[in-house]
Amino acid sequence: MNWKWPAPHGETRIIQIDLDPDTIANTYPIDLPIVGDAKLVMEDLLVRVPEDFAAGTRAWVDEINVKRAEFWDVMSPFLQEDSIPLRPERVIEALNRHLPAPCHVVSDAGTPTPYSTRFLRMHDSRSKLVIPRFFGGLGYAIPAVVGAYFAAPKLRPVALFGDGSLGMSAGELETLARLNIPAVLIHFNNACFGWIKALQRVHAPGNSNDGTFSVDFGAYDMSKLAEVYGIRSFRVETPAQLESALEAAFSRDAPSFLDVAVESIADRLPPVFSWLTKVGADPEAIGAQAQI
């Protein structure tokens, strides 16, 4: 939240745990720096937690679980919605039902980030979702699943990316094909740099050209691109096609590419705190979203 929370000089006392001493207190004034591996430090901290504090924490965890259940209730109609073009959250919902456990999911910046962080459900502690959020460089997921596969060949690698990312690392499809990496590649095709288009609309609404500039691509069937490399490809426009493509992709032992035509995040804002605040929606409301 652009370092707005917790307030930098507020009441909250902050302990920062980091493996890298150089990052300690870089952003916030902190009360207690601890340099160490997060898992080991947590184990040490847990034995020091007083019992009455732990009891209070249990009540808090219960409260969070109630809110969590409420969240899934509120979101369920959107996750089930069969509108066309498909809503991105509908794609994640279908993926949840097909993902094997454990698995490695890598997501690019753009549409896949807000929707995978909010809706992807991983039930296995060995599963991982990796998103290069530090710089959010587009084009990471396709090459990264090659690395994920060699790091853990028994775990199914899954890549989530937009068409902007695909444009930046499409050549790596050749690597996946040549090495026969059994990745499931899910392309969120919205024919634009959606993230940037949404930012332009949020910050400069009502300008000529709809306030947007240089962010639209043509609407292409990108499954044909993957086919060039001999990768099994699926063009997905309907919920039924989504189901059958996921079914087929996860039953194969070779790379598969799903070109999924999705609604653009420039048309209906995803749960991005600063965007919702800017357009006057309540970002803290469960299931907050806004049409723009």
Ligand X SMILES: Cc1ncc(C[n+]2csc(CCOP(=O)(O)OP(=O)(O)O)c2C)c(N)n1
Instruction: Determine the Cα–Cα distance for residues 281 and 274; give it in Å rounded to an integer.
Output: 10
Closest distance to ligand X from the beta carbon of 118 (Å): 14
Contacts to ligand X from residues 86-105, by CB under 6 A? none
Closest distance to ligand X from the beta carbon of 139 (Å): 6
Closest distance to ligand X from the beta carbon of 260 (Å): 11
127 binds ligand X (CB under 6 A): no
Closer residue to ligand X (CB): 106 or 109 = 109
Piece of the chain touching ligand X by CB under 6 A; list 50-58, 160-168, 227-235, 240-248: 160-168
Residue whose pair of structure tokens reads 């947007």 in the numeric block: 212
Six-digit token string for 277? 């605040």
**Residue from 169, 186, 183, 187 nearest 103 by CA:** 183
**Residue from 239, 233, 237, 238 nearest 252 by CA:** 233
212 binds ligand X (CB under 6 A): no
Closer residue to ligand X (CB): 86 or 265 = 265
Instruction: Determine the Cα–Cα distance for residues 198 and 266; give it in Å rounded to an integer.
Output: 4
265 binds ligand X (CB under 6 A): yes
271 binds ligand X (CB under 6 A): no
In the chain, the N- to C-terminal Cα span, in Å, equals: 21
Closer residue to ligand X (CB): 157 or 164 = 164
Q: How many residues bind ligand X (CB under 6 A)?
A: 20
163 binds ligand X (CB under 6 A): yes
Cis amide leading into 6 (omega within 30): yes
Piece of the chain touching ligand X by CB under 6 A; list 191-199, 231-239, 243-251, 272-280: 191-199
Residue count of the chain, please give it.
292
110 binds ligand X (CB under 6 A): yes
Closer residue to ligand X (CB): 127 or 165 = 165
188 binds ligand X (CB under 6 A): yes
Residue whose pair of structure tokens reads 């296995």 in the numeric block: 124
Handedness of CA 185, 191, 193, 199 (dihedral sign): negative
- Here the contacts of 55-61 (C-beta below 8 Å, separation 24 or greater) are none
Piece of the chain touching ligand X by CB under 6 A; list 89-97, 117-125, 134-142, 240-248: 134-142
Q: What are phi and psi of 259, to 5 degrees?
A: -95, 100
Instruction: Determine the Cα–Cα distance for residues 289 and 203; give it in Å rounded to an integer.
Output: 16
114 binds ligand X (CB under 6 A): no
196 binds ligand X (CB under 6 A): yes
Residue partners of 285: CB distance under 8 A and separation at least 6:
none
136 binds ligand X (CB under 6 A): yes
Closer residue to ligand X (CB): 136 or 171 = 136
Closest distance to ligand X from the beta carbon of 135 (Å): 7
116 binds ligand X (CB under 6 A): no
**β-sheet with 184-189: strand ranges across:** 128-130, 103-107, 156-162, 184-189, 256-261, 232-236
Residues forming contacts to ligand X in the complex (CB under 6 A) are 109-111, 136-139, 162-165, 168, 188, 190, 192-196, 265
